[in-house]
Structure 1
Amino acid sequence: MVVAAGADLFAGALAAQAVPVTRVDWRPPLPGTADDLTRVLADPRREEANRIAVSRLLAAGARLVAVRPAREALGLEPGRFLHAGPPIDWEHASGPMRGALVGAMLFEGLAATPEEAERRLARGEAELTPCHHHNAVGPMAGVVSPSMWMFELEDPVHGGRSWCSLNEGLGKVLRYGAFGPEVIERLHWMASVLGPLLSTVVRAHGPVDIRAIIAQMLEMGDEGHNRNRAGTLMLLRELLAELIECGAPAGAVAQVVRFVSGNDHFFLNLVMPACKLALDAARGVPGSTLVVAMARNGTEFGIQVSGTGDRWFTGPAQVPEGMYLGSYGPGDANPDIGDSAITETAGIGGFAMAAAPAIVRFVGGEVRDALDATRRMYEITLAENPAYQVPVLDFRATPTGIDVTKVVRTGVLPQINTGIAGRVAGTGQVGAGLVTPPAQCFTSALGALARDAPPLG
């Protein structure tokens, strides 16, 4: 019997000569990480720390309890904006991030023209902070301004709260960096009609169990990141009676129903804060190597780890590979952007692509690629989430809890499926595809964990 690792050439030659061969899928750790890896793996706190962090993640609940404007929910004041990803300033912001900030200035009445908005932003007249620093998440550019309405979720198990803006739909929308008149007009309608109506409806209905809807939608062909069709329709069904009976004008009710039912991504903005709640519950466990956030601002990709507090470990954001709309192509694409990778961090989205093989029509590839992506993610995770199951894998639970040490040891990077924003401000969405984080996020995090670990011996 021969055990073979690495390239199949040697194993194939032996097998052709009738020699019994056991193939082992072994890969060396990422370059330059041996010492840090040894130190972290030897940390006596690690096993128990990860057990605690994972148990908190898996136990967390998520209920929609309110819909409120950001100035009320998050205390945002005029001139303060939240954004996706790790911290960034105007000088280093990408095209779609700049476009979204310009649009937010116009929407808030802080500038009369895009040119004036750009000048004021360049002079530092707006304060920019990450959504994650406010227990919030934002898709794509993730820009949140005081007048935007937010979903508010609570975790009844650990007591946490999280927020996310309402989803605008696809195409030329603020989160993809568009800021034309139709974008601003839609935002005003969302602030004057959609937000207040949803607030009234949720208050009349009572808390909505978002975690339960996520579990059901995974069994109905959604994966929770770029496919949320079943989730959106289940939410609408849940709230429809209260919406009809809320006393609003029939025309306004019809507008809301038409908008939500025609926007397959509407539920994404509830999936994201639900995932944020679960991962926030796992934060702050000394010695834990569990990743609790992956986020991108269009320039940098950043991760946070349970055992290293609120520190960001960053690397250059990559351009997704995928399918493009109309005449757009790779040259039109901005590097990866958005907080929506919180879904993969929690074990759905790209980690649950096997539950939604139709997703390949949106992000590219074949059905086999979706199945392989989910199977590969089991190699780098600490657990499986029994709440979220994949029918085509015999209802196996989704791979959950990215482990820094497993990523570094295997070289397997987390799989993310994502929309693609145009690199030029104002363009909007140009496609959708697949992407992975830069490896240096994980090697940097490993180095920090190694420095925090007790001395060997």
Structure 2
Amino acid sequence: MTNLFTSDLKVINVGLDAFADSIIQNGGNATKVAWRPPALGDTNTGRALATLINNEEVDAANRIALSRYLAANPVLKGVGKAANSVPGMGERTLLHAGPPISWEEMGGPMKGAIIGAVIYEGWTETEKAASEMASSGEITFSPCHHHSAVGPMSGIISPSMPVWIVENTEHGNKSYSNFNEGLGKVLRYGANSPEVILRLKWIEKTLATVCRAALQNIGELELKPLIGQALHMGDECHNRNVASTALLIKKLFPSIIKTNLPPDDIASTVEFMSGNDLFFLNLSMAACKSMMDAAHGIDNSSMVTAMARNGVTFGIRMSGTGNEWFWTQSRVADGLFFPGFSQNDAAPDLGDSAITETAGIGGFAMASAPAIVQFVGGTPTEALGYTQEMAHITLGRNNAFSIPALDFIGSPAGIDARKVVDTGIEPIINTGIAHKDAGVGQIGAGITRAPMIVFNDAITTLADKLGTT
């Protein structure tokens, strides 16, 4: 006891920071432990969680879900028209990112993108008429995820748009995504000016035609090895796709020049792809979607199979609870903003692109992409830390997505909702940031996390389903 009062104390503080702060202010040495009670302190969720931890039924289901995800083999099969390729795509249907949402509930970027899609389809000619049509009930709005599809930011897919067709050849399920428009004023951020519509028409008539012909020459293209190689080259295949885009061009270019299409079409296609460092993003998303859908629908599994945002709500789906969404208000990301903009200008987070994190890349593989912090903020050390932290809330690792900076260990994969609630660690997501008003476009990029409350809801629902509470 004498030594206790005469030696320099080093205090570890668990709980309120105020205790540690007072010690530090008086010259003491205190370390703050980032801890909070499981389930945000909610006793009902805590009881539900206790019945699911070390639950043999849940553990067995998770082994099946994880093994199906790991075995999945996403292969790019071709390019199709959304109306002819995407299941359930009606004549007046528009698919959007995130959980279900009505026109009245949508935020600025998504409303702007809807208006642009209506004009692109030729259903109306003016923004006013498009807005009136959207509010009339004449158009069916449906989440991309309900149609085996994904789309970045607003995620709008309309019937005439070309889509990438990806097949998981291990299990037979297919997934779809639209084409990436590049940066600047683009539909996915809510822009709908004539130049945006003209670019979409060029993508439909020229870019998609060239890519379709090139893929017909190749036959198919495996995406999993390409993503794995890109991770070794500094990408994380969500907000950084420099290497993956270059690898895709390398695969397609020999076939593109053999297509016998007009030289101007070939030249403009290669120029567009080469000038768009995000071109591979939509393929990355479709690949991840096909992998996660293979793990979906396993009774009693607590593995998360989708995380998505629509600019108003953030939602997840869990393998063992079918197609039910667990959702809450979407957050505004913290990040780096373009000159003249701040967080006050930002829309709440939106997009299906968090399917990449769900599949173990994106923010979960930021250790592979230290340079991304120049875009989303933070430091290379923090990027490394994010990947290490995510291992605490996952069921395993994907060795196909190995990380050089961590001695080539596989990326953490298979988010376990039980572990999220138990540890208090929210899944990390890196993301683009849209202006809250339609038509302005991207104003920055940053980091956000999946809100804990949706995992609480998922856990209590699973426990009720199992009858363990």
Where on the TM-score scale, by shorter chain, does this alignment land: which range?
A: over 0.9
Q: Could you tell me how far 1:88 is from its partner in structure 2?
A: 0.4
Equivalent residue, structure 1, for 2:70: 58
1:236 aligns with 2:235: no
1:135 aligns with 2:148: yes
1:155 aligns with 2:168: yes
Deviations along 1:313-340, whole A, 9 cap, x unmatched?
A: 0000000011112312111110000000
What RMSD, in angstroms, separates the aligned Cα atoms of the two structures? 2.5
Q: Could you tell me how far 1:6 is from its partner in structure 2?
A: 2.4
Deviations along 1:129-152, whole A, 9 cap, x unmatched?
A: 000000000100000001110000
Equivalent position SS for 1:169: coil
Equivalent position SS for 1:303: strand
Equivalent residue, structure 1, for 2:58: 46
Deviations along 1:38-74, whole A, 9 cap, x unmatched?
A: 1222533011111111111111001000101101112
Aligned mate of 1:396, from 409, 415, 423: 409
Deviations along 1:209-235, whole A, 9 cap, x unmatched?
A: 111100000000000100001000111
Equivalent residue, structure 2, for 1:250: 263
Is this contact kept in 1: 2:86–2:148, CA < 8 A? Answer: no
Is this contact kept in 2: 1:3–1:24, CA < 8 A? Answer: no
Is this contact kept in 2: 1:382–1:401, CA < 8 A? Answer: yes
Structure 1 residues 455 and 154, CA gap change in structure 2 (3 angstroms)? same
Equivalent residue, structure 2, for 1:190: 203
1:28 aligns with 2:37: yes
1:352 aligns with 2:365: yes
Is this contact kept in 2: 1:62–1:277, CA < 8 A? Answer: yes
Gapped runs of 5+ residues in structure 2?
1-9, 24-29
Equivalent residue, structure 2, for 1:101: 114
Equivalent residue, structure 1, for 2:435: 422
Letter in 1 for 2:319: S
Aligned mate of 2:387, from 368, 374, 389: 374
Is this contact kept in 1: 2:48–2:468, CA < 8 A? Answer: no
1:111 aligns with 2:121: no
Q: Could you tell me how far 1:80 is from its partner in structure 2?
A: 0.8
Equivalent position SS for 1:245: coil
% identical aligned pairs: 48
1:325 aligns with 2:331: no
Is this contact kept in 1: 2:35–2:424, CA < 8 A? Answer: no
Deviations along 1:144-181, whole A, 9 cap, x unmatched?
A: 00111000000111111000001000121000110011
Equivalent position SS for 2:56: coil
TM-score (norm: length of structure 2)? 0.92
1:448 aligns with 2:461: yes
Structure 1 residues 156 and 333, CA gap change in structure 2 (3 angstroms)? same
Equivalent position SS for 2:398: strand
Q: Could you tell me how far 1:269 is from its partner in structure 2?
A: 0.6
Equivalent position SS for 2:247: helix
Distance between the aligned counterparts of 2:359 and 2:150, measured in 1? 13
Farther off after superposition, 39-48 or 132-141: 39-48
Distance between the aligned counterparts of 1:4 and 1:46, measured in 2? 35
Is this contact kept in 2: 1:81–1:144, CA < 8 A? Answer: yes
Distance between the aligned counterparts of 1:253 and 1:58, measured in 2? 37
TM-score (norm: length of structure 1)? 0.95
Distance between the aligned counterparts of 2:290 and 2:11, measured in 1? 44
**For this pair of structures, how many residues does the alignment match?**
454
Letter in 2 for 1:6: V
Equivalent position SS for 2:298: coil
Letter in 1 for 2:434: A
Aligned mate of 1:297, from 285, 310, 314: 310
Q: Could you tell me how far 1:28 is from its partner in structure 2?
A: 2.2
Gapped runs of 5+ residues in structure 1?
14-20
Distance between the aligned counterparts of 2:437 and 2:33, measured in 1? 46
Distance between the aligned counterparts of 1:278 and 1:112, measured in 2? 39
Distance between the aligned counterparts of 1:430 and 1:79, measured in 2? 31
Farther off after superposition, 28-37 or 395-404: 28-37
**Equivalences for residues 264-275 of structure 1 within 5 A:** 264-275=277-288
Is this contact kept in 2: 1:39–1:453, CA < 8 A? Answer: no
Equivalent position SS for 1:385: strand
Equivalent residue, structure 2, for 1:144: 157
Is this contact kept in 2: 1:389–1:397, CA < 8 A? Answer: yes
Letter in 1 for 2:65: A
Letter in 2 for 1:321: D
Q: Could you tell me how far 1:77 is from its partner in structure 2?
A: 3.6
Q: Could you tell me how far 1:368 is from its partner in structure 2?
A: 1.2
Runs of 4+ in 1 over 4 A off after TM superposition: 2-5, 7-10, 21-27
Equivalent residue, structure 2, for 1:178: 191
Equivalent residue, structure 2, for 1:221: 234
Equivalent position SS for 2:401: strand
Distance between the aligned counterparts of 1:274 and 1:97, measured in 2? 24
Q: Could you tell me how far 1:78 is from its partner in structure 2?
A: 3.1
